[in-house]
Amino acid sequence: MAVWSVRVLLPIIAAGFLHSGALADTSGQIRLADLTAHAAVTGLIDNSAFLPSAAAQPAYRDFTGSIALGEVLMGTNPAVFTSTEVLGKNPQIFPAVTLAFYTAGGDLVPIDRDVIRVGSTAAGTSYWDMIVQPGRVWSEPQDGEWSRAAFPFALVHSIEGESHNGVATFLYREGAVTDLRFQIVQQTAPYYVEDYFTAWGLSPASFIPGGIKDLKRLQFDYSLEVANRFPIANWSDLEARVGAEALVDFESAMSQDEVLVSGLVVDGTFYKKPCKSAAGALPYCETAGFGVWSATKSLANAAALLRLAQKYGPEVFDAKVLDYITIPAAHDGWRDVTFRDLLNMASGVGFGSDQREPNDSGDGYLDGNYAEWYEAPSKAEKIAALAKTPDLPWGPGEVTRYRDQDMFLLGAAMKEYLRRKEGPLADLWEMLQDEVYRPIGIHHTATNRTIESDGSKGLPVMYAGFYPTLGDMAKIATLFQNKGRHGDTQILYAPMLETMMAGPEDRGLPTGGSNDFGEERYFMSFWTTRFDADETCKFYVPAMSGWGGNTVVLMPNGMIGMRLAKNWDGNEAVDDFSGMIAVANRLDPFCK
């Protein structure tokens, strides 16, 4: 189900436009002269200009150091945003940020892969924080002694969950860099910045040498990261293998204009459709991070709770929230709420009506003081805001009502649980990285955290704000499919995963949704959809789901369907992944 499906908005949808002459020579390459002369940028150019040409050669030298970028007003389509100021900042300003890189095997590798906070701080006028991922270095014949560097990036914000994905390039030589040419050509579904936009510009850049510690170790670690990447092939390879007819209607009724990329994991390989954008295929799609909104609830929150259960026992599912978090509420509705209830979004606390038959899981979702809670920067302020939520007429564990607040509270309670087990320095996200993600080959993760006035690291927000790569999502989903086991190591608690994954038994609580086969239910952060393979073989198929149509579906035959999308109006297509299920069943029937 789409996270924001209860809010129907009409954004301006802009595909952007290509300007073939802007900062490009006849070969399609961005001109060195324009990057050194601060030439004006007048529109998007084809994304191929940010990739090595057919005549490219290795870079003349490695890049080791930082580039300091200045704020700049971006050219955008639409030219004026619906929201010209958001939380006191301007979303049409590219942020001033310093980015440190090194090179390894021809790749340009950023030191910091987490959310780099800029717009969410008091500094500058830009609204945006940034995420940077690995790109490439090379040389072109026309550039003389200069080498080229390019990398994917995303503009994000620490209280939101979408990504505005783009690509950037600069040229470098000994002791010098050119300006940075960038363009933003794709995105997942927005919230506060309502427009679907493309953007372009030239940011003034200066070179800061050195500052990269333990370079040999970093390069070695990066070689392991590359070796551990999830295998990705083209959708056309799967078509050649199984026939195009077997793959028809994979995306059901989802509009192709709203789909960024989709595909299917078959036998340990992710067969990917093209990564689309407003300026041709999205470069570096395999290493880019994407804002998946509430798919975070499964990719992170469920994974964390299942890890705690594996380490410390299943009693953690029934741990009382109030034993770990003080909620300054003037009612006792939180008294018996457990960690399990929060992962089921069945706290019994919330806004909305008291109608439960039939239930509407979105009832009351954005009501009350949601905006106050959403905008609250710190952990304490968020807990104070959610404490203003009234009781519903039933107790915990009885009715699913969609609440980001419940998922945030679960993250806060799990952190305190972990600290009591492992000491005051224990960090929930570091546990996830060290004990779940890295063992399955995910070396870096970016996530939103609360913004604390004392400058401390903050609490991972857990209800949204995770920015995984396509391979990251495939790896986490595969771990779930394997009942929490990776190789010889049991990482997550298998008995609960046995119940959570696809099976014939109905599980969870009714959401009010349904399809042709039966009702939809919600269980432990997963939306479970009924699928009848035939009259005698029926399954409930679990899916992670995030606002805008971001979906990861875990099939009974071990396959994994994935889709990243940007639907805003919350129509039925975003909740429909029956096409993925039908294709997986055709390729390897669930019932043999």
Q: How many CB atoms lie within 10 A of CB 570?
A: 22
How confident is the model at residue 27, as a pLDDT? 57
pLDDT computed for residue 411 by the predictor: 98
User: pTM of this prediction?
Assistant: 0.95
Give the per-residue pLDDT at 415. Answer: 98
Mean pLDDT by groups of 10 residues along the chain of 592 residues: 33 42 60 91 96 97 98 97 96 98 98 98 97 98 97 98 98 97 98 96 96 96 97 98 96 92 98 97 97 98 98 98 96 96 98 95 97 98 97 97 98 98 97 98 98 95 98 98 98 97 90 91 96 89 96 97 91 86 96 84
Residue closest to 558 by CA, chosen among 474, 442, 432: 474
Q: Looking at residue 504, what is its pLDDT?
A: 85
* pLDDT for residue 23: 54
Q: What is the pLDDT of residue 5?
A: 32
Domain boundaries, the chain: 32-224, 230-292+482-587, 296-440
pLDDT digits over 50-90, tens only?
999 999 999 999 999 999 999 999 999 999 999 999 999 99
Q: Which of 135, 170, 116, 182 is nearest to 287 (CA)?
A: 135
Separation between Cα atoms, residue 129 and residue 116, nearest integer Å: 6
The answer to whether 548 and 575 are in contact (CB under 8 A) is no
- Beta carbons of 362 and 6 less than 8 angstroms apart: yes
pLDDT digits (tens, 9 = 90+) for 243-255: 999 999 999 888 9
Predicted confidence at residue 502, as pLDDT, reads 85
* pLDDT of res. 24: 58
What DSSP character marks residue 429?
Answer: H
CA distance linking residue 293 with residue 468, whole number of Å? 11
Which numeric CATH code is attached to 296-440? 3.40.710.10
